[in-house]
């Protein structure tokens, strides 16, 4: 009987008892993942192996050959010119109509290209980011603002135009067809979505007349360009044409 | 099992309950014993960015670090030691190595299946292959993608994600929900299409309350890809923690922040929310060991000292 009284009492208490749990203690650890903390799990390593082999095969594809190392530089260099020209050509193909010029973010060119074989891996090292190629339509005065923005610091990397830079200001801008820059005219510029969206403090570009996405990664455009170059059988002879000069 | 054994077991259960009450309301029964606390281990990654292999040995800062096969070993070791383990990812699974460009995220997802991830949330770069690719790749996942503030109803992802999930470990109810970052200006429109971004604070308030009340969760975790902290008022994990209630822990991502230890930020009720983030690329695995006791704590009882 005593037992049942006890049970009854406990049941009443249980009914009143707040449900659930509460946190009584917590500790944290940040575990570094390296060869010292853990060896590779063999089953996961085996699972990954075929993917890695496929990756190595495709990263080792020789796209084109170059007679010399192709380097980036300021205010102008062979790699600046090659990449911005490649971008302009591929953007025009993708867009299906003419584009006035191309622009590349100097800081976004992450490596130089080797002498000899240029592989897919080489292009990934030059352009590891997955920025999309976009076409902005700008009024001439905003285009001037864009050129000045990057001329300031000698980081103007462009295709389709020649220009002189003086005191962070771009002048004597000439397009491929010989036209000069007119403030009230409209121009199309192929560039990275990163810049078009105001990256690198270029927020003024958000007021562009038009913004079109090509759904084409800049790196994919470069891969296509270099593969095409390789198919011509002619090696790339890197030269800078001095399209940007300081005066 | 005979009846008396069953009764004895019930009695023991009840006695256990009484012991907890005894602990919170002393001398009611004169009981002084304690029911064994329950341990729960939360493991987490963020911004792994397709880094399936360790960084190459090229003399760089991260050379030789990371790697999914090593992470598998670590997680397996912890699972052998701990009874209750949950493994989460806070987004940006995709993009960053040629693996993603070549395989569109398949090996990342299949590897996460093998590692036994319990849930993940979406990062901005998880959209990089386009929303159709998300349907394909996340369709291969054996774990749910949780995101409460993206309305995918007018996209192909409709019905493919969940706002939250409740995990029950040894009686502990852990509610987990996800929050994504504002896509506009960050993700190409062509990639996120008709995805509607909902205010993270509003959604977090509603979802966390639902988890705490309707779902009776003992612990509420937010998997966030908002980013740790910004200059100005931009929504971040830090801002979110202070502007909400009912969240116990925010596992963050996006800003690739290497926190040495979780940071505690008081919420609207003055209760400390833990915010954590462990860098990027699978260089680190975050580990949080939580101990739970029966019953509700006094409000002050939750104000715990941080041990890192």
In 3D space, the residue among A152, A178, A158, A175 whose CA is nearest the CA of residue A246 turns out to be A152
Mean pLDDT of the residues in chain B: 87
B11 versus B188: the higher-pLDDT residue is B188
**Who contacts A210 (Cβ-Cβ below 8 Å, separation ≥6)?**
A135, A136, A137
B92, pLDDT greater than 90: yes
pLDDT at A101: 98
| B 55-74 residues with CB < 8 A to A | 64-74
B7, pLDDT greater than 60: no
Percent of chain B with pLDDT over 70: 83
Phi, psi of A42 (to 5 degrees): -70, -35
What domains appear along chain A, each with residue ranges and CATH number? Answer: 57-238 (3.90.780.10)
Q: Quick check: A181 and A173 in contact, CB under 8 A?
A: yes
Q: Quick check: A182 and A140 in contact, CB under 8 A?
A: yes
The pair of three-digit structure tokens given for residue B7, joined into one six-digit string: 């009764």
pLDDT at B60: 59
Q: How far apart are CA B306 and CA B293, in angstroms?
A: 18
Is B18 an interface residue toward A (CB < 8 Å)? Answer: yes
| Strand A186-192 versus strand A132-139 pairing type | antiparallel
Q: How far apart are CA B253 and CA B120, in angstroms?
A: 11
pLDDT at B16: 43
In 3D space, the residue among A43, A187, A192 whose CA is nearest the CA of residue A109 turns out to be A192
pLDDT at B22: 36
The 10s digit of each residue's pLDDT in B12-56 is 444 444 334 434 443 344 333 457 899 999 999 999 999 999 987
Q: Residue B76: which of A29, A41, A47 has the nearest Cβ?
A: A41
Local structure of A24: helix, strand or coil: strand
In 3D space, the residue among A86, A105, A88 whose CA is nearest the CA of residue A97 turns out to be A88
* Residue A217: strand pairing partners: A132
Q: Which residues of A touch B21 (CB under 8 A)?
A: 13, 16-17
pLDDT at B205: 98
The reply to whether omega before B209 is within 30° of 0 (cis) is no
Local structure of B269: helix, strand or coil: coil
Local structure of B70: helix, strand or coil: helix
A68 burial type by CB count under 10 A (0-12 exposed, 13-18 middle, 19+ buried): middle
Q: Which of B84, B92, B130, B188 to mutate to test the interface with A (most CBs of A within 10 A)?
A: B188
How is the beta sheet containing B85-89 ordered, strand by strand? Answer: A21-32, B284-294, B38-45, B85-89, B119-120
Percent of chain A with pLDDT over 90: 73
pLDDT at A4: 54
The pair of three-digit structure tokens given for residue B86, joined into one six-digit string: 């949950």
Q: Residue B17: which of A17, A44, A52 has the nearest Cβ?
A: A17
B251, pLDDT greater than 90: yes
In 3D space, the residue among B156, B113, B149, B110 whose CA is nearest the CA of residue B133 turns out to be B156
Is A48 an interface residue toward B (CB < 8 Å)? Answer: yes
Q: How far apart are CA B99 and CA B107, in angstroms?
A: 8
Average pLDDT over residues B256-284: 97
CB contact under 8 A, A40 and B288: no
pLDDT grade for B118, boundaries at 50, 70 and 90 = very high
* Residue B265: strand pairing partners: B273
CB atoms within 10 A of CB B183: 19
B108 burial type by CB count under 10 A (0-12 exposed, 13-18 middle, 19+ buried): buried
| B 130-149 residues with CB < 8 A to A | none
CB contact under 8 A, A7 and B110: no
pLDDT at B41: 98
Percent of chain A with pLDDT over 70: 92
d(CA A19, nearest CA chain B) in Å? 6
Q: How far apart are CA A180 and CA A172, in angstroms?
A: 7
Q: Give the ipTM.
A: 0.84
B302, pLDDT greater than 70: no
pLDDT grade for B231, boundaries at 50, 70 and 90 = confident
The 10s digit of each residue's pLDDT in A159-193 is 999 999 999 899 999 999 999 999 999 999 999 99
pLDDT at B232: 84
**Where along chain B do its domains lie?**
1-35, 37-302
| A 18-37 residues with CB < 8 A to B | 18-35, 37
CB contact under 8 A, A54 and B54: no
A203, pLDDT greater than 90: no
Is A55 an interface residue toward B (CB < 8 Å)? Answer: yes
CATH 3.40.50.2000 holds for B37-302: no
């Amino acid at each position: 009987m005593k037992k049942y009284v006890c049970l009854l009492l406990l049941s009443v208490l249980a009914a009143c008892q707040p449900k659930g749990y509460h946190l009584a203690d917590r500790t944290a650890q940040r575990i570094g993942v390296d060869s010292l903390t853990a060896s590779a799990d063999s089953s996961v390593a085996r699972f990954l192996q075929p993917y890695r082999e496929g990756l190595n095969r495709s990263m080792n594809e020789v796209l084109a050959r170059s007679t010399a190392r192709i380097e980036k530089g300021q205010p102008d260099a062979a790699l600046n010119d090659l990449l911005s020209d490649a971008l302009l050509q591929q953007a025009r193909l993708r867009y299906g109509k003419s584009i006035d010029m191309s622009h590349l973010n100097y800081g976004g060119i992450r490596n130089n290209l080797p002498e000899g074989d240029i592989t897919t891996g080489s292009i990934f090292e030059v352009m590891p980011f997955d920025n999309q190629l976009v076409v902005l339509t700008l009024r001439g005065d905003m285009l001037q603002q864009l050129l000045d923005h990057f001329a300031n610091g000698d980081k103007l990397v462009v295709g389709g135009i020649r220009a002189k830079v003086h005191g962070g200001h771009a002048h004597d801008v000439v397009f491929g067809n010989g036209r000069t820059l007119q403030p009230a005219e409209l121009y199309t510029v192929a560039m990275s979505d990163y810049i078009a969206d105001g990256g690198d403090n270029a927020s003024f570009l958000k007021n562009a007349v038009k913004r079109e996405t090509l759904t084409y990664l800049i790196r994919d455009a470069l891969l296509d360009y270099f593969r095409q170059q390789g198919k011509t059988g002619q090696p790339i002879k890197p030269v800078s044409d001095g399209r940007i000069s300081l005066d | 099992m005979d009846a008396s054994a069953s009764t004895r077991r019930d009695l023991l259960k009840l006695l256990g309950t009484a012991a907890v009450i005894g602990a919170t309301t002393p001398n009611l029964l004169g009981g002084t014993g304690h029911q064994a606390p329950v341990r729960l281990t939360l493991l987490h990654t963020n911004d792994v960015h397709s880094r399936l292999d360790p960084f190459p040995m090229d003399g760089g800062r991260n050379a030789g670090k990371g790697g999914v096969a090593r992470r598998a070993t670590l997680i397996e070791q912890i699972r052998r030691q701990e009874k209750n383990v949950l493994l989460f990812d806070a987004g940006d699974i995709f993009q960053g190595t040629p693996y993603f460009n070549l395989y569109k995220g398949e090996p990342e997802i299949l590897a996460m299946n093998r590692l036994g991830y319990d849930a993940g949330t979406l990062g901005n770069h998880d959209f990089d292959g386009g929303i159709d690719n998300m349907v394909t790749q996340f369709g291969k996942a054996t774990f749910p993608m949780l995101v409460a503030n993206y309305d995918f109803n007018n996209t192909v992802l409709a019905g493919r994600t969940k706002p939250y999930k409740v995990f029950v470990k040894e009686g502990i109810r852990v509610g987990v929900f996800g929050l994504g970052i504002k896509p506009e200006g960050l993700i190409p429109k062509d990639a996120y299409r008709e995805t509607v971004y909902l205010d993270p604070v509003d959604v977090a308030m509603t979802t966390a309350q639902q988890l705490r009340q309707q779902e009776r969760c003992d612990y509420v975790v937010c998997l966030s890809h908002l980013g740790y902290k910004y200059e100005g008022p931009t929504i971040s994990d830090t801002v979110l923690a202070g502007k909400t209630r009912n969240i116990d822990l925010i596992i963050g991502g996006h800003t690739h922040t290497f926190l040495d230890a979780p940071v505690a930020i008081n919420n609207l009720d003055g209760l400390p929310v833990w915010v954590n983030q462990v860098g990027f690329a699978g260089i680190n695995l975050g580990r949080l060991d939580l101990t739970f006791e029966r019953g509700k704590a006094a409000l002050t009882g939750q104000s715990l000292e941080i041990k890192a």
